[in-house]
Chains A and B, each alone.
Chain A
Amino acid sequence: MIEFDEAQKRLVLKLVYYGPALSGKTTNLLCLHDTLQQDGRGELMMLDTTEDRTIYFDLLPFFYVAPSGLKIKLKVYTVPGQVRHDATRKAVLQRADGVVFIADSQISQQSINAESFANLEQNLSLVGLDLEKLPLVIQFNKRDLSELVTEEELRTTWEPTGLPVLMASALQGWGVLETFQAAVEGLFDSLDQKLQLLERFQVDRDDFVATLTKAKKL
């Protein structure tokens, strides 16, 4: 949690899109930006990149105002995936309220996924966060490509963890919103436990989720 000011009725949250380099984290955010309606969100801010690779981070903010007047701002960040930018990843992970792990579905990328996941675990513990308690959503991206690990196989592997696992193609624009929605739901549940959002601030789960994930009218 970045900030919680009860007097000012202000709550600032952080959701981090984590994962190996070139797994499609920025593309997820671009897709969200393009899909979601403008009311509830700000503009996508992309810091300097080199050759299409994020070297700092991207930021897409979302807004929600509860009937109680509590203003919730959700800042969605991506991290740079390249191994050498570990310090930046650690910095972005500070005070995260939830994590979306974007994995590459290609068979050839599985060990890189595992490495990145281990890196997430390590960095979370370094910034004092507990992976067990943090809402975490897994997305297997690039389902539009060939030579992929089958969905069945992925589900068999991940089901026992109880984590939401989603298939997506950020490039084609499917699965992205569902992933974000799962993350927002997880975020709400975890915050509600800590802050009693509904009881104290009349933040309704369905309304919160619907507001943040409202798609543009076609």
Chain B
Amino acid sequence: MTESPTHIEFIIGEEKRLSDIVGKLEIEPLLRSALKLGINRVALLDEDERVLVALGESIVEQQGMCSEIRLPILVEGEPKGTLLLASAGQIPGLEAIARLLQDSLQLTVTNNLKRMLTTEVHTSIVQESYEQLVSTNHRLMESERRYRTLARDLEIKVKERTAELQQAYQRMLQQEKLAAVGQLAAGMAHEINTPLGFIHSNLNSFAKYQNRMAEMLGLYRLLLAKETSPETIKQQTEQRWKELKLDFLLEDSGVLLGQSLEGADRIATIVAQLKGFAHLDGMEQQSMDLQHELKQLLAGLAPQLPPNSRITTDLQPLPPLVCRVPLLLQAFANILDNAIKSRSEGLELTVYARQESDLILVAISDNGCGIPAENLPHIFEPFFTTRPVGSGSGMGLTVAREAIIGAGGSIEVESLAGQGTTCRVTLPHG
């Protein structure tokens, strides 16, 4: 207790005057009873012989007939007052009446004193308790104020952190998209590189063939200019034709060009698939043919399939779906990616798509590792992944769900560990 409120108004033991302890009104009835017994004058004097209460008539000095009795009244054992009785004549039992009155007065004084002391102690304590309460209250208010400030600051901090988290989450989503694009690009690069390789090699061969053909044509031209006889020309050219293996060249050129054209077509197909991912920032609503896009996606993912995979599809014609096309494509790409990675070989992937009244239903099933029951509630949580560090961001299904919900649809995942997983996507159209 630092600023302890020890201020006490009453000092226990402080001396009291008789007039502090008893009052006139309290004493009068007692004294009056003495008058009734024939006593002329009754009075109570204080410690300075001053009259506190006096009743009856003053007795005029008479001829020695007057009798007077003075008795002390004690306060804490100390005489503090005097009871005075005076009578004009001899009254039988005056002494006894006086003693009786003294005892009564003494009792009143003592009881009053006790009551006063009790009250004083009590008041002191109440006052002290009150002061303590006031100071406790003050301290409580102070601490309440501190907590209020703290709470307000906390709210601001929470808001700041939430905003930071949201930003980080957005960045993660963006990175997830970029990662998917990167993955796709790597696959695509490989796919493009193969046809590009044989186109290049074919064209190289064709360039050599073309040289020989040009040489042959040059020989014809030369011989014709010399006006050599057709016989001579035939003889000379026939030999050269064989030397230059032009029969083979002409035949092979057709094959080379045919192959190259085919390669170019393959590249064109791949580029067409890429287009879907090319404008990730173009988020305006567009009409999409989901059946077509699913075919494209499956074709694009083909190189990533594990060995001995079998894909079963039942993609029925679907009504046009108006949505943010790149987002929804990303969603299906992520779901398919999970399915593909669910098994290291012998994958059986089944993709169904059909229309039911005003809903489009897509189901993607695999016979892969499945999701343990305890993980099932978490699969849509950001960053939740069971793949080794570095190989999964834990954002795939999060992104998928967001895109599907964004398009007004829903996604459900059923899975049995070790048996496979089925994702059902429902999307509204129109």
Q: Which residues of A come within 8 Å of B, CB atoms?
A: 2-3, 12, 14, 41-43, 45, 47-48, 56-57, 59, 61, 63, 73, 75, 77, 87-88, 90-92, 94-95, 126-128
Establish whether residues A91 and B8, one from each chain, have CB atoms under 8 Å apart when the complex forms.
yes
Establish whether residues B118 and A48, one from each chain, have CB atoms under 8 Å apart when the complex forms.
yes
A33 to chain B, nearest CB (A): 11
Establish whether residues A94 and B12, one from each chain, have CB atoms under 8 Å apart when the complex forms.
yes
Q: If the complex has contacts A73-B78, A91-B8, are A47 and B15 also in contact, measured as CB distance less than 8 A?
A: no
| Least CB separation from A126: chain B residue | B6
The answer, yes or no, to whether B337 is at the interface (CB within 8 Å) is no
Establish whether residues B14 and A91, one from each chain, have CB atoms under 8 Å apart when the complex forms.
no
**9 pairs, A vs B, C-beta closer than 8 Å:** A47-B117, A59-B13, A61-B77, A77-B13, A87-B124, A87-B125, A91-B125, A92-B121, A95-B11
Q: Which B residues are CB-close (under 8 A) to A126?
A: 1, 4, 6
The answer, yes or no, to whether B129 is at the interface (CB within 8 Å) is yes
User: How far is B127's CA from A7's CA once the two chains are assembled, in angstroms?
Assistant: 34
Listed from nearest, the 7 A-B pairs whose CB atoms lie closest are A42-B77, A87-B125, A2-B13, A61-B76, A91-B124, A61-B77, A75-B13
Q: Which B residues are CB-close (under 8 A) to A12?
A: 13, 15
Q: Which A residues are CB-close (under 8 A) to B121?
A: 47, 56-57, 88, 91-92
| Least CB separation from B123: chain A residue | A91
| Least CB separation from B75: chain A residue | A42
Our pick among B12, B77, B78 for the contact of A91 (Cβ within 8 Å) is B12
The answer, yes or no, to whether B128 is at the interface (CB within 8 Å) is yes
Interface string of B69-88 (1 = CB under 8 A from A): 00000101110000000000
Q: If the complex has contacts A2-B13, A41-B77, A126-B4, are A88 and B110 also in contact, measured as CB distance less than 8 A?
A: no
B131 to chain A, nearest CB (A): 11
The answer, yes or no, to whether B157 is at the interface (CB within 8 Å) is no
Q: Which B residues are CB-close (under 8 A) to A92?
A: 12, 121
Q: Which B residues are CB-close (under 8 A) to A2?
A: 11, 13-15
The answer, yes or no, to whether B114 is at the interface (CB within 8 Å) is yes
Our pick among A3, A41, A42, A45 for the contact of B14 (Cβ within 8 Å) is A3
| Least CB separation from B117: chain A residue | A47
| Least CB separation from A12: chain B residue | B15
- In the complex, besides A41-B77, A42-B74, A57-B117, 8 extra interface pairs with C-beta distance below 8 angstroms are A2-B15, A47-B117, A56-B118, A59-B13, A73-B15, A73-B76, A77-B13, A87-B125
Q: Which B residues are CB-close (under 8 A) to A128?
A: 6
User: How far is B77's CA from A94's CA once the two chains are assembled, in angstroms?
Assistant: 22
User: How far is B121's CA from A42's CA once the two chains are assembled, in angstroms?
Assistant: 21
User: How far is B113's CA from A73's CA once the two chains are assembled, in angstroms?
Assistant: 17
B387 to chain A, nearest CB (A): 66
Establish whether residues B125 and A94, one from each chain, have CB atoms under 8 Å apart when the complex forms.
no
User: How far is B338's CA from A163's CA once the two chains are assembled, in angstroms?
Assistant: 90
| Least CB separation from B8: chain A residue | A91
Q: Which A residues are CB-close (under 8 A) to B77?
A: 41-43, 61, 63
A3 to chain B, nearest CB (A): 6
User: How far is B11's CA from A77's CA once the two chains are assembled, in angstroms?
Assistant: 13
User: How far is B117's CA from A99's CA once the two chains are assembled, in angstroms?
Assistant: 21
Q: Which residues of B come within 8 Å of A, CB atoms?
A: 1, 4, 6, 8, 10-15, 74, 76-78, 110, 113-114, 117-118, 121, 124-125, 128-129
| Least CB separation from B114: chain A residue | A47
| Least CB separation from B10: chain A residue | A91
User: How far is B224's CA from A103's CA once the two chains are assembled, in angstroms?
Assistant: 148
User: How far is B124's CA from A88's CA once the two chains are assembled, in angstroms?
Assistant: 8
User: How far is B13's CA from A42's CA once the two chains are assembled, in angstroms?
Assistant: 14
Establish whether residues B11 and A94, one from each chain, have CB atoms under 8 Å apart when the complex forms.
yes
Q: Which A residues are CB-close (under 8 A) to B13?
A: 2, 12, 14, 59, 75, 77, 95
User: How far is B74's CA from A61's CA once the two chains are assembled, in angstroms?
Assistant: 12
Q: If the complex has contacts A45-B114, A126-B6, are A57 and B125 also in contact, measured as CB distance less than 8 A?
A: no
Q: Which B residues are CB-close (under 8 A) to A45?
A: 76, 110, 113-114
User: How far is B12's CA from A14's CA once the two chains are assembled, in angstroms?
Assistant: 9
Establish whether residues A88 and B117, one from each chain, have CB atoms under 8 Å apart when the complex forms.
no
Q: Which B residues are CB-close (under 8 A) to A47?
A: 114, 117-118, 121
A124 to chain B, nearest CB (A): 12
Q: Which A residues are CB-close (under 8 A) to B8?
A: 90-91, 94
Q: Which A residues are CB-close (under 8 A) to B1?
A: 126
Q: Which B residues are CB-close (under 8 A) to A48?
A: 118
A43 to chain B, nearest CB (A): 6
Which of A77, A90, A126 gathers the greatest number of chain B CB atoms within 10 Å?
A90
User: How far is B239's CA from A139's CA once the two chains are assembled, in angstroms?
Assistant: 147
A45 to chain B, nearest CB (A): 7
User: How far is B110's CA from A94's CA once the two chains are assembled, in angstroms?
Assistant: 23
User: How far is B121's CA from A147's CA once the two chains are assembled, in angstroms?
Assistant: 37
Q: Which A residues are CB-close (under 8 A) to B114?
A: 45, 47
User: How far is B12's CA from A112's CA once the two chains are assembled, in angstroms?
Assistant: 26
Our pick among B6, B78, B117, B128 for the contact of A42 (Cβ within 8 Å) is B78
Establish whether residues B76 and A75, one from each chain, have CB atoms under 8 Å apart when the complex forms.
yes
Q: If the complex has contacts A43-B77, A57-B121, A63-B78, are A90 and B6 also in contact, measured as CB distance less than 8 A?
A: yes
B347 to chain A, nearest CB (A): 80
A11 to chain B, nearest CB (A): 11
User: How far is B257's CA from A135's CA once the two chains are assembled, in angstroms?
Assistant: 126
B269 to chain A, nearest CB (A): 94
B102 to chain A, nearest CB (A): 15
User: How far is B12's CA from A3's CA once the two chains are assembled, in angstroms?
Assistant: 11
User: How far is B129's CA from A56's CA once the two chains are assembled, in angstroms?
Assistant: 16
Q: Which B residues are CB-close (under 8 A) to A91?
A: 8, 10, 12, 121, 124-125
Q: Which B residues are CB-close (under 8 A) to A56?
A: 117-118, 121
Establish whether residues B15 and A57, one from each chain, have CB atoms under 8 Å apart when the complex forms.
no
User: How far is B109's CA from A45's CA once the two chains are assembled, in angstroms?
Assistant: 12
User: How far is B125's CA from A57's CA once the two chains are assembled, in angstroms?
Assistant: 13
User: How far is B4's CA from A77's CA once the two chains are assembled, in angstroms?
Assistant: 24
A132 to chain B, nearest CB (A): 20
Establish whether residues A3 and B15, one from each chain, have CB atoms under 8 Å apart when the complex forms.
yes
User: How far is B76's CA from A45's CA once the two chains are assembled, in angstroms?
Assistant: 8
